[in-house]
Amino acid sequence: MHPNDATSAQVRAAKPLTITEQARRAQLIGVTIDLVARHGYPGTSLARIAEAAGISKAAVLYHFPSKDAVVRTAYASVLESLTEYVGAAVGSRSGASAVEAYVRSLVAYLRDHPDHTRMIVEALSEDTGIGDTPNARSRREAVAGLIDAARAAGDYRPDIDPQATAVIVNGAVDAIVSERLADPDFDSRHAAEELVTMLRRSLGTGLQDAGNPSS
């Protein structure tokens, strides 16, 4: 039996996790992110993961209960990293500034981590068996919350629909990221600024100050 079959990492800290175990898990997660980014979910087989890590299939299944568990853990790892980054950027900001920080940080993060982007894109297109983790709905709710707060703060018009607007904003951000992925020459930073400008003009009450992009 494998020593730790919990899906996510140190949940309930059942066993101390040996050095080897930690290293192998980290390595397997790394190569899996890489493989999913390069060949998509269906092209990422157990044999390929094992080969990329330089061990046998059985060794992979010694550290994880199944191939799906490897992929799910890799996905969770990516998502945790992204969430942390965006969370830090939005952080203590409020109102329209928080929404703009969300747009800018998400685009920036995904521009700098194309592998993670592919992983997330693959995960979002369901049928992969990863779909259960923090899904699109919760993301929409989070952004809708930011927009609603900006509206309540007087930064945004009172007559906008936060839910519909959240869907539109998320879609726009995703498209910018995807475009950047397909065409590295595409200036995603500039596109993000265009989007921020559009949001100010279409949602704003004209009362907030300009603010300036971070980095």
Partner DNA sequence: TGTATTTTCTACCGCGCGGTTAGTAATCTG
Partner DNA sequence: CAGATTACTAACCGCGCGGTAGAAAATACA
Residues near a second copy (CB under 8 A): 39-40, 42-43, 121-122, 125-127, 136-137, 140, 160-161, 164-165, 167-176, 178-179, 182-183, 186-187, 190-191, 194-195, 197-203
Name which of 31 and 143 has its Cβ closer to a second copy. Answer: 143
Q: How far apart are CA 15 and CA 56, in angstroms?
A: 24
Residue with tokens 């079959």: 5
Binding partner of 40, given a second copy, DNA, none, CB within 5-8 angstroms per partner class? a second copy
Q: How far apart are CA 185 and CA 37, in angstroms?
A: 19
Binding partner of 205, given DNA, a second copy, none, CB within 5-8 angstroms per partner class? none
In the shown chain, the binding pattern of residues 21 to 40 toward DNA, with x for contact by CB under 7 A and - for none, equals x--x----------------
In the shown chain, the binding pattern of residues 54 to 83 toward DNA, with x for contact by CB under 7 A and - for none, equals xxxxxx-xxx--xxx---------------
Binding partner of 150, given a second copy, DNA, none, CB within 5-8 angstroms per partner class? none
Given a contact cutoff of 8 angstroms between Cβ atoms, the answer to whether 149 and 164 are in contact is no
Cα distances from 215 to residues 89, 174, 189, 210, in angstroms, run 11, 20, 10, 16
Distance of CA 60 to the CA centre of its chain: 25
Token pair of 87 as six digits: 């969370």
> Helix 67-90 to helix 46-53 angle, to the nearest 10 degrees?
70
Name which of 78 and 195 has its Cβ closer to a second copy. Answer: 195
Binding partner of 55, given DNA, a second copy, none, CB within 5-8 angstroms per partner class? DNA
Name which of 32 and 165 has its Cβ closer to DNA. Answer: 32
Nearest in space to 104 (alpha carbons), one of 27, 45, 190: 190
Binding site for DNA (CB under 7 A): 3, 18-21, 24, 44-48, 54-59, 61-63, 66-68
